[in-house]
Every structure is written in structure tokens, then in C-alpha cells.
Structure 1
Amino acid sequence: MLIGRSREREALGGVLDAVRAGRSATLVLRGEPGVGKTALLDDLLARADGMRMLRATGVQSEMELAFAGLHQVCAPLLTHLDRLPEAQRRPLEIAFGLSTGSAPDRFVIGLGVLGLLVEAAEEQPLLLVVDDAQWLDRGSADALTFVARRLLAESVALVFATRSSAELLHGLPELVLEGLINGDARALLQQALPGPLDRAVLDRIVVETRGNPLALLELPRGLTPAELAGGFSAPDAIRLSRRIEESFLRRLQPLPDETRRLLVIAAAEPLGDPSLVRRAAERVGIDPDAMRPAADADLVELGSRLRFRHPLVRSAIYRAATLQERLAAHAALAAETDAERDPDRRAWHRAQASPGPDEAVAAELERSAGRAQARGGLAAGAAFLERAARLTPGPGRRARRAIEAAAAYTQAGAFDRAEDLVAIAHTGSLNQTQLAKLDTLLAQVAFAANRGADGARLLFAAAERLVAVDPELARQTYLAALSAAMFTGRLASDVSGVEIANALLAAPAPSGDSHAGELLANGLALLFTAGYASALPVLSRAVHGFRDEAALPAEQLHLLWLASAMASLLFDDESWQALSARFVGRAREFGALGELPVALETRIFTHLFAGELGTASALLDELAAVTNAIGSRHTPYGALGLAAWQGREDEVERLRDDAMDDIVARGEGIGVTVSYWASALCLNGLGRYASARTAAERASAFEPERSASTRAWALVELVEAAARSGETEQAARALEQFSELAQASDTNWARGLQARSRALLADDGNAEALYQEAIERLGRTSVRLELARAHLLYGEWLRRHRRRIDARTHLQAASRIFADAGAEAFLERARGELLATGETLRRRTVETRDRLTPQEAQIARRARAGQTSAEIGAELFLSHRTVDWHLRSVIAKLGLGSRRAA
């Protein structure tokens, strides 16, 4: 019976009630070790009658094995694999080693897991509990978090238990577990005491254990009343979890020696496989029945899986074992692990069994690293390489493996680990090229962690050293430095983009045909040195080269960001969409958490301009989770853009003001540009043109910021704000600057914005044709919100010229797009203009925001186009049941007869 947990049991009962009613539910139990998370999960499972129950446990020693946690979750459900679409089934088969193929996108894996759970729930409501979630491997944690955020109308419940300090699972509904309050804590403590104890001593023990249930139960075991009389405190008191471990160790001491040795083997085997533990025990001459005394002492539970009473039992046993006992345990487990079926776990056990350098084991680990990366486990691959480096006897080979591990950790966003590996590499015998590579890695870590001026400076210095020893790598590093200089922008100090670009152009060029990366380097250098028009032909070839590139290795992912950025600067919306989607997909696929934040920011902006604000918001949640996980410093570009398009002035100002000091301190000049562009966009939407003009001036003031598409967007905002403020000369100057870009680009996006901007300054004889040109050109692009703005401005112009019927047509077109997107400020402008034309707005039109959410609007558009629920779900990373639930809501809200009418 659980004492003092009525509130928590009620909350968990609500999870069961929701699932039984056909809804989904997610809950994260957070608390310190021993606070009762596992006991609550046991109680929950005992009450889940009529449900299918799955249980998984994170294992600390498996954190480096890609998708190890998902193996536990999904293994009982693999009979449902055949029901999944090929696009979901195939990635799961690759991730689980059931088939071979290219590394799958980890979020497609998440969608496959979602599909698997939903299929199982079709037969019976499903409850999945995950204990010790803080020890899940990164791929499994990401996939399960992804699933939890996309459950809605399925009979599936996910309940996680994790430690208070764990960074995973943030943003999901939480229940924080505290210690028991005094009365309940005393009641539990008295159950564990060998006899009566003074009330004052009871109270002292309760205070010192902070009401932690496991501490209250375990610490008094084996102690006499006299030993308990002073409580547990001491001047050198250690952490509570260690004290609980020590209480378990006291219970180990009377066990037979053979039992304790067998427990070490069990503690070293993370899956709790009784068969494997039995075989390993027999290999070292231990009778498997020696486990019985440990079960009698309530330290382990024997069954289809061998479970320790508490994770701290496992850690206590493993920590207390001698080095020789650990080595022997891992050696036995390695010998009994099937090399064909589970080569990576075998390699890991062999590594843990190695008392010193061993090239054969190191080589096996290196092969495991390759398999892990092929399955999408970049962090797992890095961990294998790190262990391989530490076991490598030769200094040269050790340095090479350490460098490879450091590079993998950098991409995985584990910057501290990367720096440790750089230090290991420095202990080896390094040539000049390797030394320069290490300098480059440290520079990449600095840039990935804070996106500030230090990154450009350090990368430039590393490139300068590489020129003499590896000219090709030097050019790649110059390009990385230019990439960093794009972030530095107006706040550059020690080194400027022009200086880096000149050095790149002066560096020896590779022979043969120029590939996309080399074209990108030359084009970007020309952009800094010769200007937009000169660079455009080379950059255009580079962008299209990346679109045609069949494959791109993980170490070149940053080039996709540059290619995407150049596509937006060239106003090539089709390439911008394609490359940004590919960048996110590849970053997820490789588990490249160091690159994923930039990839997500890029993709968020394509969704914003496309009017898909709901999708952008969902990606912002993912972005927050990634940046929290890797600890990088992050300017909220996407959040600023979303708030600006939604017309939330207070939020734009708060985000800008909160970030500005940090932006300036780090030297991330592009942050200044984006912040004031967002303000200008928001204020133009609100019709506050004088304030918008001031913000747009600040955003576009730094003319040398040639590589920032945001500055070009700011010029467009400045034209509108200045024209509407009566500052026509300023508007004309901004238009002239933008027109240089538009004429060189000559795309429908750029020419459409140019025509719209020219119309604002044109006389009555020319304005109408320019507005019509803008609508025609922007209608051929994916930037739907810019098209809506053209309709809005044209409608405003028509109304002022008393052409009310014509005005209504364009104002209604603008309203529909703004309403579907959730662009509230611009929508209010369009509504006001419609009312001024004498339009009687139906309630359904006026209350668009309350009628359909951004996600409902996206689903409705796709359904209207004839897509099935499964197809919509695949695109939006939702289950088909959630899509159907949203469509029923759309049909009910709009009073429609069918999904095609949505």
C-alpha cells in the first residue's frame, strides 16, 4: 500500500481514465532517486486492468547504444510492423537491425513508433511506462518525446519516470514528486524500524531524509535503536543516493561470495536477460541458482526478466565490485553474446573487459561505430570511437580515432566530450595536418556553442594554419569561417567577412571540375568582395548543385545551411524549401544535434513565409528541446518571426529585449538584424507605420551585411513603412537598394516584392498594373503570406479609389490566407478594410481564429486537395487517427458535409 500518495495516484488514475475514454495521455513523473517513482509505476500497472501494458527501463550502460530503449518498447509490438506503410516500416527495420539500408531520419523513426503504438491500441487500450528515462539513449528519448507530443485521439498513454535533474522530456505534462510530508513519512519509517524510537529522533530522521520513501525504508535496515538514536547526519554527510546505495551494500555483505559475484554479472548486463546471465555465470563456474539468496533478500526479482529492486541496487553492486570482478563479468558476457545477432553489445562488453590497450577490441569498436552511425546514432558512434581511442595502443592511430570521435561528438552537440577527445588526441603523435584539424574542431565547438564572433576568428586562424599543410581542408575551413562571419555581421571585431573572403579566393583552388561545395565557397567569397550581382550566377549554380547532390556526409551538413541561406538570399523559394527540408532531414538522420538547431531555424522560416505558422510553432518546440539538451546559446530567431507574423507586439519586444544583451556580448550581429526586422514586420501588420519605419531602419542600416536575406526583407518593410508614413524619399532609397537585388535575382519572389513595393510609390496611372504584377508573380511562389500582403495592399488601394466591389475580392483573398495561417495583425487590417467597403462579415469569417487552429487549417487544405489521412499524417508527423479527429472538428466548426468540403 502506498502511503501519502493520494494526489499522485489520482493524477495517474486520470491518465487511465483518459485512455479508457479513447483519448491519449502523457505524464512525466520527476523526482530524486528513491522518491517513489517506480512504486507509483507499479501501482499504475496494477490498476490498468483491461489494457495492454508495456514497460521499459532506461539503463545507464546502454545510453551509447542507438535505439536500445526503443528495442525494449517495440519488441513486443513487432508483429504489427506489416500494418505500417512502407515509409514507416522500413526505417524501423533499419533502426532495429532487421534489415539494412541508409540511415533513417530519427523523426521518421518516431512516426513509425507512433504508428506501431496506434496499431496496437486499435485492438486494446495501450499503457506504456518508461522507468529511469534519464538513462534512455538519445535516439530513443527523441523518438518517444516526439510520439508523446503527437498523441491526441488515440487510446495510448505514455508515463515516464525520470530524475529531477534530467534534461529530457521537457515540455510534456509533469508531476513533480516530493518527499512525504511529516505524518506520512513517520508512518512509513515506523514500518522499517526494529522497535519503538523517540519521537524527536523520528522527526530528525524524517527531516534528514527529506521524506524520501526509499531512504526511510532502506537506511534503518540492520541498525539497532542505539545506532539510530542520533539520526543519520554526520559532519561529512554524503548525498542521499549514495547513502541509500550504502544501505543496499550492507544487505549484500551477509550473502554468499558466489551470489555477490553473480550479482556483479547481472549488474553488468543491462537487458536483464536471465538466459544470458545464466550462461555467463556457468562460464566462470558459478551456479546460476546462487541468485536465490539475493531474491530472498529482496534485492532482485526473478522472472522472464531479471529486475533489481531499484536502480540504485544495480549501481551499488557495480560500484562496490573490484576491478577484477567487473572485468571478469564483462568478459563472460562478451563471450556469451552472439557476435552475429548483437555485435555492438558484444564489442561494448569486450571493451569493458579490457584491462588495458587492445587493438583488436579497438578495431571492433570502430566497426561498431560505423554501424551505429549507419542506423542514425551519431552520438552512439562517437561513444564507440571514444572507447576505441582509449583502448588503442599506437599513439598515431589513437590520435586519429580521438579526432574522429571529437568530430562526431561536435556534430552530436556533445561539446564537452569533444573537447575531452581533443585533449586525448594531443597526447598522441600528431602531424601538422592533425594539429590544424584539432584547432578547427575547437573552433567549430566554439561556434556551434554560441554563434558569436569567436567562431569566425578561431576558424579563420585555423584555416590560415592549414593552407601550408592541407590546402583543400584550408578552403573548407575558410568557408566555415565565412559561415560564422555571416552570423557576426555588423558586430565583427577581430576579423571581417571581407578579410576571410579575400583569403579564401587567394588560397590554392582544387583542380578539376568545381563541385557544389567549391562553387558555394567561391560564390560566397564573391558576395563579400564583389557584391550580389557578381556572386549570383556562381551561387545559383551552387544552390542547384546541392539540390541535385545525391548524398552528403555528416561532416558536410553545414554546407546545407549555407546553400539554404543562399537560396533565400537569391529569392529562390523552391530551392529554399527543398534544401531546408533536406537539411533538417539529414541533421535528424545523423543525430547531428550540433547542426540541428540551425537546420530547424532555417526550416521554421520557410514555413512562416508559406503561411504554415502551426508547423513552425511545432518545430519551435523541437528546437527548444534540442538547444536545452546540448546547452548551446541560442538567439530566438524562429520565435521572433512567428510572433511577428502573428502580430504579437509585446512578445516580439520581450524576445528582442531579452536576447539583445547576449547578442551584443557574443558578437552575433545577425541577431540585431533579425530582431529589428521582426519588429518592423509586426508593426507594419498592426498599421503602426512610424514605429515600423524606425525598426526597419535599424534592421537594414548595416549595408555591408550582404549575405543576410533578412536585411533584404527589412528593405521591403522599410518601403511600406516609410511610404505609409509619408517619408517617400526614404521609401524610394530603400526601394532602389532592393531593386538592385530583385533585378539581379529575377525570380517571381523578388520581382513580386519589387512590384508591390513600387506600387506603393507609384502614381494612380501605374499603381494598379504593379499590384496586379505582384499578385501574379507571388501567386507562382510558395511565399503565401507575401501574396496575401499584395492582395491586402491592392485591396486597400482599390477601396481608397472607391472601387468597393473590386476591393472586396482582394481583401477577401487576403483574409482567407491570413486566417488560415493565424497572421492576426494583418488579418485585422484586412477585416477593417472589408468593413469599410460595406461588407457584412459573417460571424464565421470574423471569428476565423476561434474557428480553426493553424494545424486544423493545414489539415483542411490537404484534405481538400484529396490527400488521405495517412498521407496528411506522414507530412505533419501525426497519426491517422489524430488527423481524422482534427477533420471531424473542422467539419463540425464549419458546418460542412464532408472532408472534401473542408
Structure 2
Amino acid sequence: MTTLSPIRWRASGLMGRRAECDVLDRLVGTVRAGESRVLVVRGEPGVGKTALLDYLVEQAAGCSVARATGVQSEMELAFAGLHQLVAPMLERLDGLPVPQADALRTAFGISSGPAPDRFLLGLAVLGLLAAAAEEQPLICVVDDEQWLDSASTQVLTFAARRLEAESVGVVFAARTPSDEFAGLPELTVQALNEADAGALLDSVLTAPLDPRVRDQIVSETRGVPLAILGLTEELTPAELAGGFGLPAGMPISTGIEDSFRRRIDALPVQTRRLLLLAAADPLGDPLLVWRAARRLNIPTEAATPAAQAGMLEFGARVRFRHPLVRSAAYRSATVQDRHDVHRALAQATEPQVDPDRRAWHRAQATPGPDETIADELESSAARAQARGGLAAAAAFLERSAELTLDQANLGRRALAAARAKHLAGAPDDALKMLAMAEGGSLTELERAKTDLLRGQIAFASGRGSEAPHLLLEAAKRLEPLDVSLARETYLQTLAAVTFAGRLSSPGGGVPDVALAARAAPPPSHPPCAPDLFLDGLAAHFCDGYAAGLPILQRALTLFGADMSAAEELRWLWLAGITALHVWDDEDWGVLTARHVQLARETGALSELPLALTSRILSQLFAGELTVAATLTDELRAATEATGSNLAPYGALFLAAVRGREAEASALVETNRKDIERRGVGVGVTTTAWARAVLYNGLGRYEWALDAAQQATDYPLDIGTSYLALGELVEAATRTGKHEIAADAHRRLVEVTHPSRTDWALGVEARTRALLSEAEPAESLYREAIERLSRTRVRLELARTHLLYGEWLRRESRRVDARAQLRTAHELFTSMGAQGFADRAGRELLATGETVRRRTVETAGELTAQEAQIARLARDGLSNPEIGTRLFISPRTVQYHLRKVFTKLGISSRKQLGNVLASDPTAIAKS
């Protein structure tokens, strides 16, 4: 038998890796200096990634080190990799904000609770890493990322992208990094060049080698270090001298694994079984491995040959020399042997301590269908989903379906797996599981639910124009089976068609959906707010604004009563749109504030972009542009953090109201194609409405007319198209298109008159004034001002003062005009609505009044992030609260605040209010 010797290749003796080591040295130096760095080390199997990570750890003197390794057989266990990395830090949980700490406890099964939002988990991990680094710089090393469970990858990359000033270094190593790593700094590890490969080979040879054989080995191993080392360990000097080499053209990863497989085959039978057992256990728990080994009658002496061969070591953890050794040990075994070791591991796993891993091992041990194990996997899926491990839940359910012989159970379990995969963000896999479900035996209700899921997948994956038709078919199918679910699905369909609007596919347009929804069976209980939203919207679309109005107003009155936080979150965006639709400015403000508050408090960060967008629009109409700007900054951070595909409507409207044409135009162009591609028809209307506001503010009325006509040519977009009618009346009267203005006013009155709110009637009076002359016009302007003064829509009030002042000037009543224009000018200036302020300023100049622009200087130029943090600190938020809002750590907040204080020449947060202007420019009367 060939004598095998272990590899002793110290990381500090790396061959030909000076450049790579320099990168790692700089990373450690930067972390020690108080900054954070992230690096993704990528390269083919055996090229030396793990050796470089070992080098990094050796160089990290004075730093704490946390390590985790992805394990292929553990990929379906949610947060397994994350737990490896942060388990030593969990003692710091109590120092995190309560929602973040609770999210981690739930994810790790420490406590029970609602499934945590993965973005909230990311913030929690960011906080843990930052807290650990306060004591000592921290280096986190994650090897074999390609085998990390997806939940851990998502959370770790989320946290890594937000590290800045925490003294934390995070280094991932992977063959081919997942998409989650896109844009992160990379270090690509190439094979050694010929000279370095030869030097490595020479360093491990124990006898002289024929130069031609040496060159052949260097050539055929292609400079992959592990291939060189594995080959020289496997072959005797005599075999090497005889010219044995790798088969020509063999893929190097396969060659390395085959090399290990041959070495494993040379080991004693019991040692091979022990290697297989260890390979099947992802935990590296020596007690568990030996408990299972006893069940297989594997003696403890079986570990010695594996250790002598340098393949496996038993210590605090069971560690393979290289992941390919694990892979080779597992792949080289027979199917029956694999079943045996998984069965032994299942028997050695305490069902009360780790029922999910026990069920998983049992599933891998069974050769065919097994209903008992399938039942256990279903229970494991429920626990995984409760912890927020949706990908793990889907994997358990998928395997459960595969082990199911009964066709009814197969259909049910596959449908559940499809739903879990959809929630985990894997639409293609979800559709595959739906196909499996339809191949089983489904009840009529389950078949209707497959239709529903197809529609939900289409809506969530950006196929907005397709979703209404699919959801409508599901709703119709559900009617005779489950009235409550049918009504809920009709409401989902109306929500989907609200987004799709003019871009809905045939059969799923607003009229189709509304007619079907109106015919839906009544609820079996007293109607609650969602029921009334359904009935009110259906009545509106079928019978007109006045028919749906009282039902929708009642829905707003009942909204929130006896509703859970989860149900509120689900429908708050619709409640907010409804308030806008019925011109209820008070409820609009309350509901949008509640939406943001609830999304933050519950950690539903994936809901936050939509909530913030609604709130920004509400604040803009209230004239709170500074608040809207802060929320826009938060929205930008939330969108980047969550990967939301929501178009930046908030930023667009903010730019429009401010009069920033270049910024608004860039946002329009950036998102136009995406809006059309995803079939979001309401985006077409909203974008055109924003452009109309922009150009009316700038006094570019021909352009405003074109935009306003586009915004109002599809009246079925609730809320948005009606408010844009006011822009159309203004632009049309200013360009002499009186027929267009009159028609727009008539359409506006159809909704403002039934509404009867001060906002609605104030806008109605203002637009009627634009079409009137002499005394009727003045009376209408005064009525509009009186009504709008009683509302929170200060932007509308300021615009009315401006229009009234312009009318007075044209009537040659300069003194009266100045009073109105000055009021408008001061309102716009205090808001930061510069486009409208400039328009008012021009009108004031025309009355003979002198105006000038003054600039408020600061002691230094703040970056966008510094200004954002400074505003939040000025408003009284603590560092942890600011960090949560902006998806950064409290330590990074403090780092930026120190720079803010230096630039502004202040020493405390209390002074921020004195030196921060709400807007950098203002216009004042001389």
C-alpha cells in the first residue's frame, strides 16, 4: 500500500501570491486604522482561496476573527452559515434595538415570533459586527460561499454593503460568487504561472524527478496548487519518475476530486466509512459524528489513517483538509452507504434539540417514498418559515413532495413548496413546483390556489400587465369554493390593475376586473375595510365616482379597527391611495404616516419603499419639502438595501416641485423604459403628472400642457389622473386652449363636487376662476384661498395665491397683486419650491417690486450622506435610529457626525438647528 503523508503547507509560505497577499495586508491595515472593507475572493477549485484566507487570519494579529464555511449539504438550512459566523457575538444582542434583536433570536430559534424581515436581520448583523469591533478590530472570513445557505448569503451581503467606519473586514471566498455579491470589490485568484508552479512542486518533492516529467506535471496541473500537491502526495517517487501524470484534457476540478477519490480508496474500509460519515454531517460536531459512528460500529482508531493522510482532523470541530476531500468522500460512496450514514446521523441527532436536521438526514436516508418522513419535513418547513427561512421551508417542502406517493398529498405539498419559493424570491422555481403540483391530485380549491399563485408571481416578478388577468381567473374560480378568499383575490386583482392601468393585457383591464368584482358574492360577515375597498372601487369603475365615493369613505372610517399589524401593512398603501382619490387630505396624511411607522416598527423593510413613496407625496402637498427631502434620502437607502424595483416617484415629484428640470428629466428618462417593460401603467400617468407640475412651476406652459394631457388621457388611474386635471386647466388657459381647459374643468367637477372636501372644492373654485373674468373670478379665487387655508395642502394654497396675484396684475391692480404674490413668494420660498418661487418673483418684478436672491452659506460643504445624517440628528433622532433609517451602523453615523461638526464649526447636535438651512437658497424682498 502506498504510504500517504499529510500536507504541511503553511499559509505564510505561499508561492507566487505576493500580489494577492498585498491586497489582504492592505485590508487588515485599513481595518486596524478604523475603516471597514469587504472583499470577494474568487477562483476555481484548488487554486488556493482557502490558503489565502488562512494567510489573512495569520496576519490579523490584534484583531478578532470570526469564521464560517459553506457546506453543500447544509445549503437548505436557513441561517446555518450566519449562525456559524455570529454565534460568538450573540451575547451582545441586548445592545441592539429591540426589533433587530428579536429578529435574530427568531431566526436562530432562540425565541418564537413572526417571521423576521431579512433586511431587519441584515441591520441586526450589521449592529452585532459594529459592536464586536468596538472592543477590537474584527475580521470575518466566509469560505465556500457558493455552498452557503441563501438566507445567510442575503443577510451577510446586506450587512457587508453597509459597513463603513466600524473597523470590520469581511472576506468571502467562492468559486463563482452568487448575484448577491454584484458590485463588491473582488480579488480573482488565478492559477500559478509556470515558474511558481514549478517552485511549488519542487518544494514538496522528496526525491529527484526527471525534468521532463516535472515539466509535464506542471503543464497538466495547469498551475492549480491543490492539483500539484495532491498529485505529488498520491504518487510514489517511482511512479513520478516513470512519467505518470494527469490524463490530458481532464477538467482540473474533476482531476483534483478524482485524485482525492483514489487516495480515499487506498484507506482502510472503516476509515472510508468514517470519512463518508463526516462528509454527510455539515455541523462538524465531533460528539455527533462519534455517536453516529458507534451505531455503524466504526472504531475510534479509524480516524488515525485519515489524520495521517492529512484529509481529516478531529478537534473542537471535525474539519476536512479541503472541501473537495469532503466532496470526494461523499461522491465516491455507494448510494446504500450514503443512506446508511444519513440514517445513523438521524438516529444520533436528538429530535427535541434539532428536529429539522434529523428530518433532513432521514429524508436523505430513504431510498423511496415515505409518508412519515414527508410529514416530518412538512413540520420542519413550518418551523423554518416561522424563523424567516423561506428558502429552507421551500427545500423541505420540495423534498417532502418528492418522498410522497399519495397523489393528493403530493399536490398539496408541491403547492406549499411553490408558495414558499415565491415568498423566498425564486419565481422560476415556484413555477416548476406549481407544475409538479398540477401533476398530482388537487382539489378544486387547490387548483384555484395554483391560479392565484401564478397571478401573484406575475405581479411580484414585474410582469404587471399579465397579473390582473391571471388573478381575475383565480378569483372567478374561487367564488364557489371560498367566498372570503375569492373577495380577497378580487381586491388583489383591483390592486394589480391599479398598477397596470393602461398597460393591462387583454382580458385583465380595469373594466373587465371591475365588472367581475362587482358581481362577487357578498361577505359572510359584517363588511370590514377591505370588503368596502373592494365594493367601493368596483362601484367607482362601473358606475362612476359618485357611486363609489360613500363606500370608500366608509372604508377609510373603518380602516385599522380590529386589524392586525400585518393586515394593516397589507392594505395601507391602498387606503392611502383611496384617501387621495376622495380628496381627504387629513386621512391621507394620517395613513401615510402610519404606513411608514408600521413598516419601521415591525421591521417590514421590504414594504418601506412603497410606504416612503406615499409619505413623500403627502408631505410635498403639505409643503414640507425639507421633510420630503429627508424621506427621499431614506427611500434611496431603502431601495438600494432591499433591491426594490419601485420607480423613484418620490424623488421625481420632489425635483418637480423644486423646479429642478435637469434632475427631473434624468429621473424620467432613467425609468421610462423600465415602467413600460414591467407594465406599470400608473407609472406613465404619475410621471406625466410630475412633468406637468414641473413645467407649470417653471412657466413653460406648452410643455406642461403636453404632459398634463398625457397624465389625464387615462381617467381610470384613481387619484393621480384627477389631480392632474388641475395642471391641465392651468396649462391650457395659459396657452389659450380654452376648450381644452373647459373640458378638463368639467371632468374635474365630476369628482370634486361629490367629494365636498375643502381640498376638492378649493381646487374646483381655483380652476373655475382660471376660466372666469372680472368679479366672478375674484370671488372664486377668494373662495379657493379660504377653503384651502383649512386644509394641510399648503402647496395648493400657495399656488392659489400665485394664480390670484397673477390675475390681479393682469387686471392692473398692482398693489393688490403684490400682496398675493408676496404671500405666494414667501410660502414657496419657505417650502423650498424654487421653481414656483422664481415664477412668483418674476410676477413681483412685473408689479414694480424689487426682489433679490440671497444665499445661506455654511461653514463647509457637506456630502449628500453627511447632510442627510445632519438633518436627522437635527430633528432629534439618536444614532441607532438614524442608522436604522439609513441602513448603516450607529458607529458610522457617529463617524459622519464628527465630520459634520468639523465642517460646520460646531461641537454638539444642539447647534445643528442653528446652522442648517432648510434649503440652500431663498428670495427676499429688498
Which letter does structure 2 place at the counterpart of 1:372? A
Of the three residues 415, 423, 438, the one matched with 2:435 is 423
The alpha carbon displacement at 1:205 in A equals 4.1
Evaluate the alpha carbon distance shift between residue 735 and residue 344 of structure 1 in structure 2; reply closer, same or farther with a 3 A threshold: farther
Q: Structure 2 vs 1, CA of residues 499 and 316 (structure 1 numbering), >3 Å: closer, same or farther?
A: same
Give the superposition deviation at 1:450.
3.3
| Residues 853 and 322 of structure 1, relative CA distance in 2, 3 Å threshold | same
1:606 has 2:615 as partner? yes
One-letter identity of the residue aligned with 1:441: L
Q: 1:866 to 1:582 in 2, by over 3 A?
A: closer
What one-letter code is carried by the residue in structure 2 that aligns with 1:606? R
Which residue among 882, 888, 901 is the counterpart of 1:878? 888
Question: Structure 1 residues 20, 358: CA separation in 2 closer, same or farther (over 3 Å shift)?
Answer: same
Provide the residue aligned with 1:261 in structure 2. Answer: 273
Q: Identify the match of residue 73 of structure 1 among 81, 85, 107.
A: 85
Q: Match for residue 506 of structure 1?
A: 519
Matched-pair contact (CA < 8 Å) for 1:794–1:810: no
Q: Which residue of 2 aligns with 1:895?
A: 905
Report the alpha carbon displacement of residue 899 of structure 1 after superposing the two structures with TM.
Answer: 0.5
Partner of 1:375: 387
Tell me which of 580, 587, 590 is aligned to 1:574: 590
Residues 1:863 and 1:449: Cα distance change in structure 2 (over 3 Å) = closer
How large is the RMSD of aligned CA atoms in angstroms?
Answer: 4.3
Residue of 357, 363, 368 corresponding to 2:375: 363
Are residues 1:620 and 2:632 paired?
A: no
Report the AA paired with residue 902 of structure 2.
A
Q: Where do 1:68-147 residues align within 5 Å?
A: 68-147=80-159
1:357-756 paired onto structure 2 within 5 Å:
357-495=369-507, 496-543=509-556, 545-548=558-561, 550-551=563-564, 559=571, 562-570=574-582, 572-579=588-595, 582=598, 588=604, 596=606, 600-601=609-610, 603-607=612-616, 609=620, 610-611=628-629, 612-624=631-643, 667-680=679-692, 688-703=700-715, 705-707=716-718, 709-712=719-722, 714-715=724-725, 717-718=727-728, 721-722=731-732, 730=740, 733-734=743-744, 737-738=747-748, 740-741=750-751
Going from structure 1 to structure 2, the CA distance change for 1:789 and 1:804 (only over 3 Å counts) comes to closer
User: Which SS does the other structure have where 1:844 is aligned?
Assistant: coil
| Aligned-pair CA distance for 1:804 | 8.7
Unaligned stretches of 5+ in structure 2? 1-12, 621-627, 913-926
Is 1:276 the equivalent of 2:291? Answer: no
Per-residue CA deviation, residues 122-143 of structure 1 (Å, 9 max, x unaligned), is 2111121222333333333333
Per-residue CA deviation, residues 395-452 of structure 1 (Å, 9 max, x unaligned), is 2223222222222222222222222222322233223222222233233333333323
Query: Aligned-pair distance for 1:390?
Result: 2.4
Residue 332 of structure 2: which of 320, 325, 336 is its match? Answer: 320
Gap change, CA 1:870 and 1:472, over 3 Å in 2: closer
Q: What do residues 650-699 of structure 1 show as CA deviations (whole Å, max 9, x unaligned)?
A: 77667756765676566543343344345445556666543343233223
Q: Distance in 2 between matches of 1:177 and 1:790?
A: 65
Q: Is residue 564–residue 580 contact of structure 1 (8 Å, CA) maintained in 2? A: no
Partner in structure 1 of residue 3 of structure 2: none
Deviations 1:469-521 (A, max 9, x none): 44443333333333332233223342122122212222322322113332222
Amino acid at match of 1:889: K
TM-score by length of 1: 0.84
The CA deviation string for residues 230-269 of structure 1, in whole angstroms up to 9 with x for no partner, is 97544xx55x533432233233221222122112221221
Q: 1:874 to 1:745 in 2, by over 3 A?
A: farther
Counterparts of 1:698 and 1:689, CA distance in 2? 14
Aligned counterpart for 1:285 among listed residues 290, 297, 319: 297
Q: Deviations over 1:736-769 (max 9, x none)?
A: 5456545555668767877887888898957986
Secondary structure, aligned partner of 2:181: coil
The one-letter amino acid paired with 2:305 is P
Contact 2:466 2:505 in 1 (8 A): no
Change (3 A) 1:768 1:529: closer
The aligned residue for residue 924 of structure 2 is none
Q: Which residue of 2 aligns with 1:196?
A: 211
Letter in 1 for 2:591: S
Q: Distance in 2 between matches of 1:315 and 1:757?
A: 74
Structure 1 residues 33-42 or 678-687, which shifts more?
678-687
Q: Distance in 1 between matches of 2:435 and 2:113?
A: 35
| Paired residue secondary structure (1:900) | helix
Whether the aligned pair in 1 keeps the contact of 2:218 and 2:228 (CA below 8 Å) is no
Query: What SS does the aligned partner of 1:272 have?
Result: coil
One-letter amino acid of the counterpart of residue 167, structure 2 = S
- CA distance in structure 1 between the aligned counterparts of 2:19 and 2:789, rounded to whole angstroms: 60
Residue 52 of structure 2 corresponds to which residue in structure 1? Answer: 40
Amino acid of the residue matched to residue 334 of structure 1?
Answer: A
- What's the offset of the Cα at 1:530? 2.3
Question: Any conservation in 2 of the 1:54–1:127 contact (CA below 8 Å)?
Answer: yes
Residue segments in structure 1 that go unaligned for 5+ positions in a row = 590-595, 628-633
The aligned length equals 869
The answer to whether the 8 A contact 1:722-1:728 is kept is: yes
Distance 1:215 1:834 in 2: 81
Deviation at 1:335, TM superposition (A): 1.7
For 1:706, give the aligned amino acid: D
SS at match of 1:841: strand
2:593/2:615 contact within 8 Å kept: yes
How big is the shift at 1:53? 0.9
Distance verdict in 2 for CA 1:182–1:771, change over 3 Å: farther
CA contact (8 A) 1:613 1:854 kept: no
Cα drift, residue 84 of structure 1: 3.3
Rg bigger for which structure?
Answer: 2
User: What is the CA–CA distance in structure 2 between the aligned matches of 1:196 and 1:164, rounded to whole Å?
Assistant: 35
Please state how far the C-alpha of 1:144 moved relative to its aligned partner: 2.2
Partner SS for 1:453: coil
| Cα distance change, pair 884–891 in 1 and its aligned pair in 2 (3 A) | same
Q: Does the C-alpha gap of structure 1 residues 376 and 197 become closer, same or farther in structure 2, counting only changes over 3 Å?
A: same
CA change 1:736–1:79 in 2 (3 A) is same
Q: What is the DSSP-based 3-state SS (H/G/I as helix, E as strand, rest coil) of the residue aligned with 2:85?
A: helix
- Tell me the amino acid that sits aligned with residue 893 of structure 1: K
Aligned residue in 2 for 1:630: none
Measured after TM superposition, the shift of residue 51 of structure 1 is: 0.9
Same amino acid, percent of matched pairs: 49
After alignment, is 428-437 or 677-686 more displaced?
677-686
More displaced stretch, 84-93 vs 370-379: 84-93
Matched residue type, 2:633: G
Q: CA deviation at 1:326?
A: 1.7
How much has 1:52 moved relative to structure 2? 1.0
Would you say the 8 A contact 1:788–1:817 is kept in 2? no
SS of residue paired to 1:27: strand
Displacement of 1:618 in angstroms is 1.0
Deviation at 1:645, TM superposition (A): 7.3
Deviation at 1:77, TM superposition (A): 1.2
Quick one: structure 1 residues 727 and 275, their matched pair in 2 at CA, closer, same or farther if it must change by over 3 Å?
farther
Report what 2:918 is aligned to: none
